[in-house]
Amino acid sequence: MSHLVIALDGPAASGKGTLARKLAKHFNLALLDTGALYRAVGWSVLNDGGDPTSEKDAVKAAKNMGNIDLSNRELRTESIGAAASKVASMPAVRQLLVDFQRTFADNPPKDKDGTILDGRDIGTVICPDAQVKIFITAEVETRAKRRFLEEFGPKGTDQQYLNILADLKARDERDMTRSTSPLKLAENAHLIDTTNSDIEAVFEATRKYVSSVA
């Protein structure tokens, strides 16, 4: 593979979406937010009145993925994140999305210098040969605070924060302990903890790291 592939993994609300966009722009890479694929499946199940823990409902939605608008803002909420995490624990659902992700990684458009995919299993399962692997994380309370501010703004209530914290903890547990493609540090991944850093500092450090290995 001659083009650059960056595999960026990490837990919910770790800042990987923002970092992925910045890296994509800087290194001229096509970006795939793979969480959006699972969110689309979760959203579709709920929209059809289905149950995200039902494999039948989830597989049906995953087969119709092509019809879902991945830029729909509704996909970004924590409740859709929870549904996404449930459908993502099913091997049959993951299998339906693997080819799409690998094809994306291997075929950057002509005007791009490579690809970047962010998710949970990019460095371990989807692109195990990626030249650059990054694992981004932060303490769960920090991630919950970021997600809470994103969703409810400064007027959000303590209860709303606590609900998000509980959801993120449940999501971490599900995403890290499922039997198929759990979230884990790939052997040769570069670890970044963003608990005490802002996104600009994280981007700058990561940009330097990528330039040094790519």
Residues within the interface to ligand DC (CB under 6 A) = 12, 34-35, 38-39, 81, 84-85, 88, 119-121, 171, 175
Q: How far is the CB of 68 from ligand DC (least distance, A)?
A: 14
For the bound state, the minimum distance from the C-beta of residue 39 to ligand DC, rounded and expressed in Å, comes to 5
Shortest Cβ distance from residue 120 to ligand DC (Å)?
4
For residue 122, the one-letter residue type is: I
The residues, any chain, with a CB within 8 Å of residue 151's CB and separated by 6 or more, are 77, 78, 160, 164
In the complex with ligand DC, the residue whose CB is nearer, 4 or 126, is 126
* Residue closer to ligand DC, measured from CB, 173 or 211: 173
At 42, the amino acid letter reads G
**CB–CB of 7/123 below 8 Å?**
yes
Lookup: tokens for 77: 């909420």
**How many beta carbons lie within 10 A of that of residue 92, not counting itself?**
13
Q: Using the minimum distance from each CB to ligand DC, give the nearer residue, 74 or 211.
A: 74
**Exposed/middle/buried for 130, CB within 10 Å: 0-12, 13-18, 19+?**
buried
Closer of 183 and 210 to ligand DC (Cβ) = 183
Q: How far is the CB of 11 from ligand DC (least distance, A)?
A: 8
Decide: 56 and 125 in contact? Cβ < 8 Å. no
- In the bound state with ligand DC, the residue whose beta carbon lies nearer, of 70 and 211, is 70
CA distance to 41, 43, 112, 185, per residue, from 190 (Å): 30, 32, 24, 9
Minimum gap (Å) between residue 111 Cβ and ligand DC: 25
Dihedral of alpha carbons 56, 60, 62, 68, sign: negative
Q: Give least dist CB 169 to ligand DC, A.
A: 12
* Closer Cβ to ligand DC, 126 or 210, answer by number: 126
